[in-house]
Structure 1
């Protein structure tokens, strides 16, 4: 069933609104569109100017999924697109037409495509669609079992202090999966991946029983891998407030440092779409930067 709607003056056709995309708790496409529509005021600023990569789940989180960087030809002409070089493209493209989500109609359009996950790089484009220098530094904290997000919080606190000593203010969020991420405004003092790698190696040297800075799987059990490589301009990280394709409609959720300090059990930092809407109503955007 298709439903024509008008969103901020744009005409869209929504489809299969009763389709269940999270079978374990019956979360439907209509609820996904509702979540993204209601979270838009705090989500859109974090997508502004950032070329979009989506992970789509047409048949729900238990079905086949695929990443989509290139905005197809049938994308509405009112969706902003930027043409950028695509080094290492798996489809041998020299350039890719990326969508940039900057308004509610575009966000609803992608939600209707079952684009559950929204991923963006640590840099933006200018008004002419040209890539700007990175403005964000990110550390992705990935626990190796039996470690969990609890261990990630301990490492996050160490990393917060190291960054503070470097004159950088870190903001924490969950990944919406098993780990978490720290973001900081970036001043381009040096190449961001090299800088992040150096800090990760420093913490690994100081806390070898807790931290690892290499991707090698055999080095990671019981430790937290500080993934510094997310700062590579070709890579993306899940956006704040994006849904994740897990059993439940969990969200990559901005945190307070008090929550990080007080985490004692993995469930302490699991938030679903309804939880996050309530958090934003209470706290506003915890990821808003001055």
Structure 2
């Protein structure tokens, strides 16, 4: 066994963990061991957000200063005990790994337990992205159970402007009898989630999110845009309604981001969003140490 590899028991599964001292975030010196510890520590609130959802990973084998790649299919060497689901591509494409693909389908891992989570993170999968739909026990895709709107600021707009627009989105969704939850993206903006009944397909939730985005663009064109064209985004908050497409994914709450610092997609309260709307420094993106403290103090604010 290589000197940089150890065997660990995770909930009855034996895993080989390697390169614990490898620095994955050079700016902060954050190591792979610290990343594994974060995911293990936060798993109690993270796993419910991953459960029954196909997981697309972004991997940084040599740290965030080096290249990354998307991976949808299960990679070669996937343990036999990892739960998987083979689903239609619905317009998506496999990652550079060809394992697990079969024509117009993709075979995703389903991350329902700590052993699977640890296995994925050991592969330097810093980011975990999921669809807005789940799969059945048999692996068949269900209709979406939630709607998401991604608030993406165009410079010089930032999180402050996203918070201001988030309040408008909250009100627009409330008019449609939908209650939403705010999550900082861990990057620049905010994600707003609303639970929906499963009577709509992905086209239906996409249309609803687009309707809200275009309504707010019409009422406040100086601050809001629903247009994909990046040239029309500077100084505005883009309401990305397209992530409700059946083939698209959004960073999971409590997932790390592959940025220069180990920031996390973090559920926040509406009081925090309102503070961010009033004060440019009222809300900032959270680092993983802060997230662990928040979870210890408040539990999962997504369900608060």
State if a TM-score over 0.5 links the two structures.
yes
TM-score bin (small chain) = over 0.9
Cα distance in 2 for residues equivalent to 1:189 and 1:123:
12
Q: Hey, what does 1:268 align to over in structure 2?
A: 283
Written as runs of structure 1 = structure 2, the 5 A alignment for 1:101-180 is 101-180=111-190
Residue of 37, 40, 55 corresponding to 1:37:
40
Change (3 A) 1:90 1:32: same
**CA distance in structure 2 between the aligned counterparts of 1:117 and 1:213, rounded to whole angstroms:** 26
TM-score (ref. length: structure 1)? 0.97
SS at match of 1:269: coil
Q: Detail structure 1 runs of 4+ shifted over 3 Å in the superposition.
A: 87-93
Deviation track 1:206-242 (CA, whole Å, cap 9, x = no partner) reads: 1111100011112111000000000001000000000
8 Å CA contact retained: 2:50, 2:130: yes
- Residue matched to 1:259: 272
Residue 299 of structure 2: aligned partner: 284
The whole-number CA distance in structure 1 between the counterparts of 2:114 and 2:93 is 30
User: Does the Cα contact within 8 Å between 1:148 and 1:266 map onto a contact in 2?
Assistant: no
User: Once the 2 structures are TM-superposed, how far is the Cα of residue 36 of structure 1 from its aligned partner?
Assistant: 0.2
Selected match of 1:182 from 189, 192, 200: 192
Deviation at 1:73, TM superposition (A): 3.3
Gap regions ≥5 residues in structure 1: none
Please give the TM-score of this superposition, normalised by the length of structure 2.
0.93
Structure 2 CA distance for partners of 1:231 and 1:111, relative to 1, 3 Å: same
1:237 paired to 2:240? no
Equivalent pairs counted in the alignment come to 289
Where does structure 2 lack aligned partners over 5 or more consecutive residues? 95-101
CA distance in 1, matches of 2:71, 2:144: 22
1:188 Cα deviation from its structure 2 partner: 4.4
CA-based RMSD of the aligned residues comes to 1.3
Q: Paired residue for 1:27?
A: 30
